[in-house]
Amino acid sequence: MSLINLSRRQFLQISGLSSASLFLGGCGTPILEDVVGEVSEPLNQKVGSLILKPQQPVPEFSLDEIQSEALIVNTFKNTPLIDRDKYRLVVDGEVKNPLNLSMADIQNLPFTSMIIRHVCVEGWAAIVQWGGVRLRDIVALAQPLSSVRYAYFQSADGYYSSWDIASSLHPQTLLAYEKNQQPLPVDNGAPLRLAAPIKLGYKQSKWVTRIILVTRLSRFQGYWEDQGYEWFAGI
């Protein structure tokens, strides 16, 4: 609870959203521009990495513990309208094999299901079943360079965030297209969203359309992170 309380105190200190709006131009978000090297790396990264055991699974819950109505829908902008048949997930950056995947391609990959607690920075939580593909399986298909240390996530509504590569490759980090054993609702991020038990909710981007694998972070690290929220956001 200490991490949640700390983040809520940070939340109360945030004065507004106008500065971040300058960076949100949809696919034109300049997250690969103005790279400033090691000095741009979040100060809390090393501490968070020490706490996280990158490949150790988090204990899960049983089916009868799912809290069907507890997952609150938080929207950044209006819910985007995405044609599922035309949807593509682009995976690029410092990779040997850039990807452009349809939902059929993604659903042909091995399916993984997990029942975990989703924790929001606002202080609420919900036990949810998520189903989809492990992010590590998609990263492996893209064949990232050995120097890659971060993953950026861009969403159809202009939202963006970044993760360390160890968290991205955690066995319970999913790109989910199922919620509580039903197709993922649009309001919860369909057709594809991040879901993981190791990060706070604002790191779990909805409507993900692009993943960029990089060696260094740019000075733009995430929509909320650029306004003072903790970058690592591990739980």
Structural domain of 198: 2-227
| Residue 86 domain-assigned (yes or no) | yes
Q: Is residue 232 part of a domain?
A: no
What is the arithmetic mean of pLDDT over 105-128?
95
Tell me the per-residue pLDDT of 79-106, one tens digit each, with 9 for 90 and over: 999 999 999 999 999 999 999 999 999 9
- 235 is a domain residue: no
Domain count, the chain: 1
Whether 96 maps to a domain, the answer reads yes
Tokens coding 17 = 């959203």
Task: With respect to residue 99, please indicate whether it lies within any of the assigned structural domains.
Answer: yes
Entry pTM: 0.80
pLDDT one-digit tens code per residue, 2-51: 333 334 334 333 323 333 333 333 333 334 444 333 444 565 555 455 45
* pLDDT, mean over the chain: 82
Give the pLDDT score at 8.
38
pLDDT for 203: 97
Q: Supply the CATH number for residue 45's domain.
A: 3.90.420.10
For Cα atoms 82, 83, 88, give the angle at the middle one, nearest 5 degrees.
85
For range 178-185, the mean pLDDT: 96
Q: Is residue 62 part of a domain?
A: yes
Closest among 111, 118, 134 to 68, alpha carbons compared:
118
Helix/strand/coil (H/E/C) assignment for every residue in the chain? CHHHHHHHHHHHHCCCCHHHHCCCCHHHCCCCCCECHHHHCCCCHHHHHHHCCCCCCCCCCCHHHCCCCCCCCCCCCCCCCCCCCCCCEEEEECECCCEEECHHHHHCCCCEEEEEEEECCCCCEEEEEEEEEEHHHHHHHHCECCCCCEEEEEECCCCEEEEEHHHHCCCCCEEEEEECCEECCHHHCCCCEEECCCECHHHCCCCEEEEEEECCCECCCCCCHHHCCCCCCEC
Beta strands 125-134; 150-155: pairing state = unpaired
Q: Tens digits of per-residue pLDDT, 184-231?
A: 999 999 999 999 999 999 999 999 999 999 999 998 999 999 999 999
Q: Which pLDDT belongs to residue 123?
A: 87
Lowest mean pLDDT among 61-75, 99-113, 149-163: 61-75
Rounded Cα gap, residues 202 and 223, in angstroms: 9
In a domain, residue 233? The reply is no
The pLDDT, as a whole number, for residue 133 is 98
94 located within any domain:
yes
User: Does 53 or 72 have the greater pLDDT score?
Assistant: 72
